[in-house]
């Protein structure tokens, strides 16, 4: 169970999850459905809490998102315009709030390892990017191992996204491929290991 301090402080886990998504993805605009999905919050609850955050000026309405609905042979596709919301950077406490949310966001390494365990025989796991406060890095998680099931790995990564509040970018390799990429100083590997990172698993002793 993730110890969500922010959720406990606000007394509202749904609001905490939505706030975390908006803050940790400060330049991204979300529809109510999209932010609810990212946060792991039901659509009705997401809409309710977005209104509260908007009233507090923490988020603001953005441009309309145009989606297609009713596509099919019998029903012609219709364009639907949905409102979006984004973090309000003009909010007077935006900087302080952002710092607080970042510092109190749960980084549960055991949760990451537990999620990845069912994807195959994992030999290496490295956290970088958004996990270390540097989203310009090429990947948030690097995984290496043998017998990795790509479908299960993708499902595991998606299951972790509501926990951390952002879309997780990952790269996966077999152990021989990872060893080779280290040898040739592959750019993705170098741009990860030459900057702040966290090694969760290193069974091969390569790191």
Q: Is 55 exposed, middle or buried, given 0-12, 13-18 or 19+ CB atoms closer than 10 A?
A: exposed
More confident residue, 206 or 108: 206
For 39-83, the pLDDT digits (tens) are 889 999 999 999 999 999 999 998 776 654 544 444 444 556 789
Give the fold, CATH level 3, of 5-104: Arc Repressor Mutant, subunit A (1.10.10)
As a whole number, mean pLDDT of residues 139-143 equals 96
Residue 106 confidence (pLDDT): 61
Q: How confident is the model at residue 166 (pLDDT cuts 50, 70, 90)?
A: confident
Residue 154 confidence (pLDDT): 96
Q: How far apart are CA 155 and CA 34, in angstroms?
A: 18
| Domain definitions of the chain by residue range | 5-104, 109-202
């Amino acid at each position: 169970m993730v110890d969500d301090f922010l959720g406990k402080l606000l007394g509202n886990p749904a609001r905490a999850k939505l706030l975390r998504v908006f803050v940790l993805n400060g330049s991204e605009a979300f529809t109510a459905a999209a932010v609810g999905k990212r946060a792991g919050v039901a659509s009705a609850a997401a809409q309710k809490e977005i209104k509260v955050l908007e009233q507090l000026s923490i988020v603001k309405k953005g441009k309309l998102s145009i989606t297609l609905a009713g596509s099919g042979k019998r029903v012609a596709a219709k364009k639907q315009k949905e409102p979006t919301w984004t973090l309000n950077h003009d909010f007077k406490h935006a900087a302080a709030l952002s710092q607080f949310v970042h510092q109190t966001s749960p980084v549960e390494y055991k949760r990451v390892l537990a999620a990845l365990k069912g994807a195959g025989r994992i030999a290496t796991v490295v956290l970088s990017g958004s996990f270390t406060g540097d989203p310009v890095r090429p990947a948030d998680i690097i995984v290496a191992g043998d017998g990795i099931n790509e479908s299960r790995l993708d499902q595991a990564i998606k299951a972790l996204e509501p926990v951390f509040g952002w879309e997780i970018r990952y790269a996966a390799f077999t152990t021989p491929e990872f060893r080779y990429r280290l040898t040739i100083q592959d750019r993705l590997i170098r741009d990860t290991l030459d900057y702040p990172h966290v090694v969760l698993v290193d069974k091969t002793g390569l790191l």
